[in-house]
A and B are shown apart, each in its own frame.
Chain A
Amino acid sequence: MSVAGLIRMGDNTLVLGQRLSEWCGHAPALEEDIALANMALDLIGQTQLWLGLAASREEAGRDADALAYHRDAWDFRNLLLVEQPNRDFGVTMMRQFLFDCWHFEVLQALAAHPDAEVSAIAQKSVKEVTYHRERSSDTVIALGDGTEESRGRMQGALDRLWPYVGEMFSTDDDDLTDMTALRPAFDAYAETVFAQATLTRPDSDFAHMGGKTGARHSEHLGHMLATMQVLPRSYPDATW
């Protein structure tokens, strides 16, 4: 069982949780503010589980916080999709939808993983993520179908983020499950939502790669980590 695969799971939830938390106090309506914080909270909680398990399996004297706060960008193994900036609410929710659809399939697969600790985390997380996917689907449908302006923004968001979908389904031996096998279920589900949202799936399946292998992250990740890690890095002797 690969520690690198656990770190991939935890880095995805950490980076996306951090992105969502940037919205706090700034969302389009109170209900959205609360819902975004809720998802961020779930993802940070999942991070503690995945990175906690990774730390205990690697036996290098680190804990989840050490992994979150004391690694540089090149050691992060999250997907490029989740480190993309929030931009407007449409991009944020489209990013969320694409991630939730993938995340749901992965967690379903991992719920049956032979490693009991992995399957326990997946079973707990899939309950939360089922709700995330429901809510982000509803939002994509409402905003896609809403007004002319909102449809334009959502189609723009989909076009902009689609090149980050392919990486989610690339796979290697470090992954906890075969990611390529999850693509048909993802496509089928996403297609029904796009239809209701009156959105068109982009033609090109070109995919940016390099996040989950750490070979080449985007420029955005370094800035995020500089903010996120500032206190533990500046005051290494402190406990909080």
Chain B
Amino acid sequence: MYAQMIKSEATQDDPEKLAAFQARIDAGDKIEPKDWMPAGYRKTLIRQIGQHAHSEIVGQLPEGNWITRAPTLERKAILLAKVQDEAGHGLYLYCAAETLGVSRDKLTEMLLDGRMKYSSIFSYPTLTWADMGAVGWLVDGAAIMNQVPLQRTSYGPYARSMVRICKEESFHQRQGFDIMMKMANGTEAQKRMAQDALNRFWYPSLMMFGPSDAESVHSEQSMRWRIKMNGNDELRQKFVDQTVPQAEYLGLTIPDETLAWNEEKGGYDFAQPDWSEFFDVLKGNGPCSVERIEARQKAWDDGAWVREARLAHAAKKQAAKVAAE
């Protein structure tokens, strides 16, 4: 997902307070910024919301790659609006993280020096226009799977930001599917681009849900805190079951020869992605990992004088106002 492999913090607070906190969560209460919360809950949430925010921002880059080459004025406008939405998502999420006591600048610093991660999916390149379809259809599609339940997560500001984000994500997914339809029903070259995009994005999309629950040591605590709502395998299965018929409708082939309907479980059997590739990507060895962080670092460095100037101007205005009073 946009937040993968989030390490859950053990917590060493007063057992009575902990029990009362857990009781609130079990009763479906929302935890708000001023409420008492276990240190581990706070730390885990910062990690999760921060990684989600970083994913939105880094996620601008693979799609931004095609804005200047969008093939019609309308497609250009739709893609610009989409990438702008993703920046907005980043903004809401950084604000949600700030309610937990960590600044946007601090989180950015941790992204740039590698202490914090972003979703593995955005370390893959976008090579043809069909990738704009595949990203919306598959990547936003996978994100929705996990973000819809997060609208009911226990932390109030996070839950509320998810409500806004989910509305836009489903719109993104429809737009992506619309591009895929045009491509899959287009010329031979367009069909080839569509199939190639599916071939390249299928397994990385499956990786978005994270490794199998059996190997995810941190899931349990996060589930109890209701900051993780579903198991990774469960969501992955749901995604495959939803996506296979859509691929058939498009006339595209999922690049998995073992894919088969399993009547007994009422879902598809499918091949797992190459998890060693996933761990390589997380370590910074994705095909575009270096470029993505380099681009964010450059934006940060090149923008320093602008951010400083805005602060300096605001301070001068404030001082002039005080002097006038």
Contact = CB atoms under 8 A, between A and B. Distances in A.
A231 B309 contact: no
12 contacts: A25-B57, A26-B64, A33-B60, A44-B73, A47-B73, A146-B311, A146-B313, A150-B306, A227-B69, A231-B71, A232-B71, A240-B179
A66 B64 CA distance: 23
Contact of A230 (B61, B69, B302, B308): B69
Given A230-B69, A240-B72, A29 B303 contact: yes
A41 interface: yes
B182 A38 contact: no
Interface in B118-169: 129
Interface of A: 14, 18, 21-22, 24-34, 37-38, 40-41, 44-45, 47-48, 51, 64-65, 68-69, 88-90, 141-143, 145-147, 149-150, 153, 227-228, 230-232, 235, 237-240
Contacts of A22: 67-68
Contacts, number: 146
B80 A41 contact: yes
A164 B75 CA distance: 31
B305 interface: yes
Taking residues whose C-beta sits less than 8 angstroms from the other chain, chain B's interface range is 35 or more
B12 interface: no
A146 B305 CA distance: 9
A25 B84 contact: no
A18 B66 CA distance: 12
Contacts of A153: 305
Given A150-B308, A227-B69, A231-B129, A34 B313 contact: no
B309 A26 contact: no
B87 interface: yes
A6 B160 CA distance: 45
Interface string B297-325: 01100111111111111101000000000
A103 B74 CA distance: 23
B77 interface: yes
Given A147-B308, A150-B312, A235-B189, 11 more contacts: A24-B67, A30-B90, A37-B81, A44-B73, A142-B309, A147-B305, A147-B312, A231-B69, A232-B72, A235-B190, A240-B179
Contacts of B129: 231, 240
A228 B310 CA distance: 33
B74 A48 contact: yes
A146 B303 contact: no
A27 B84 CA distance: 12
B295 interface: yes
Given A30-B87, A146-B308, A146-B312, A64 B73 contact: yes
B185 to A, nearest CB: 9
B182 A26 contact: no
